[in-house]
Amino acid sequence: MASSPPPSPPRLPEECRTILGFGGTCLDYLAVVPTFPKPDDKCRCSSAKMQGGGDAANTLTCTARLGLNPRLISMVAEDIHGRSILKELEDDGVDTSFLMVAKGGMTPFSYVIVDQNTNTRTCIFTPGYPRLTPNDISLSRLEDAMRGANFVYFDGRLTDAAYCVAREAAKRDIPILLDAEKKRPGLDGILLLSSYAVCSTKFPQAWTEAPSIGSALVSMLLKLPKLKFVIVTLGAEGCIMLERIDTGFHCEELKTDQPLGDEIDVDNLLMLLEQRKDNKVIHPTCIPSEAMCLRAEGIGTVHGRLFLGTAEKIPPSELVDTTGAGDAFIGAVLYGLCANMLPEKMLPFAAKVAASCCRDLGAKTGLPRITDPCLAPFLQNPNH
């Protein structure tokens, strides 16, 4: 007797699915080589692809394939590359009605060289022109773009225009998620308005000048009072998340007999969570702490929970290209927020989506759809 097909994943209510994204789009020229060439050397690529890219475009494509309704504010030129990018986005279900097409100019593009020997990728970015500025975004058009939006996402680029959009989102009490890849002029203003931040490995310590990742995350929550959680991605090592738990008190005001958790050094707690990892497990997992006062020496304390998320162990024969894995992770986090997923489920879900991205060439080719069987375990009762 033939087995029945798996049940379709539950679809989020319409009123929970709208994401507004702001940031960069570009065209990616991807080439896979056996090993990265030495200076003045020649090599032959084993496969190649031309595909739309850019952090914001990749992330919103991921959310569209997961069943959300993303809208993108960005700019491309009226050239063949810009037209190709628009068609790709529209085919995937990204609303491009707020994306501006400049008369003349040049759409940005990147050369992406994938090294099969080291499983790394090298990007060479060529900026386009004209650059999107605050003057390009009218308030009435911005109001239309934000209407019904559940979250506003920024990829951390074009910060002068991005800050204007973030300020309007904050006025409307729309939560903001920021992809904090590196320190950029103007980024601090967006960080101060953000409810959520997903950071590259180096960003927390670079931004806070704290001596460790754990203490840097504590410092970020202390410096950014609106921030509900911060995630730092660690590539194949997974991620760390620090979630603020608002008690209405500062940790220094809590008495030891109050049932709000003990105080512990954040780096010691992180070490304890690391010891609970099972390195034999292939699929992504999440190891949570209890709610407690987390202390960073010389910085301060916050009341919260620490989560250690593991990455999927992808067999070398299946690992093709890590381009866009971080964008895929953030797209899945946005879905998790819309679905009210608990961190214990959201972090493994995001790691699974990122792993799917790594199994094909380019930032978009391997992005899973909501109906992909590999996502089914995460989508039944997502908030449990």
DSSP sequence for 289-321: PPSEEEEETTTEEEEEEEEEEPPP---TTT---
Would 13 be classed as within a structural domain?
no
Task: For residue range 359-375, list pLDDT tens digits in order.
Answer: 999 999 999 999 999 99
Would 215 be classed as within a structural domain?
yes
Would 296 be classed as within a structural domain?
yes
Would 293 be classed as within a structural domain?
yes
The reported pLDDT for the residue numbered 135 is 94
Residue 215 to residues 48, 233, 234, Cα–Cα distance (Å): 42, 15, 16
Residue 267 belongs to domain with CATH number: 3.40.1190.20
173, 194 in Cβ contact below 8 A?
Answer: no
Q: How many domains does the chain divide into?
A: 1
Residue range of the domain that includes 96: 20-367
Would 94 be classed as within a structural domain?
yes
Would 12 be classed as within a structural domain?
no
The reported pLDDT for the residue numbered 255 is 45
pLDDT at 258 over 50: no
Residues 243-250: what's their mean pLDDT? 78
Mean predicted lDDT score pLDDT of the chain: 93
Task: For residue range 137-194, list pLDDT tens digits in order.
Answer: 999 999 999 999 999 999 999 999 999 999 999 999 999 999 999 999 999 999 999 9
Instruction: Name the pTM for this structure.
Output: 0.93
The reported pLDDT for the residue numbered 9 is 72
99, 76 in Cβ contact below 8 A?
Answer: yes
CB atoms within 10 A of CB 322: 18
Would 7 be classed as within a structural domain?
no
Residue 217 to residues 3, 156, 231, 305, Cα–Cα distance (Å): 48, 18, 8, 11
The reported pLDDT for the residue numbered 119 is 83
Would 81 be classed as within a structural domain?
yes
pLDDT at 78 over 90: yes
What lies within 8 Å, CB to CB, of 73 at 6+ separation is 20, 21, 22, 98, 99, 100, 137, 145, 165
Residues 278-294: what's their mean pLDDT? 95
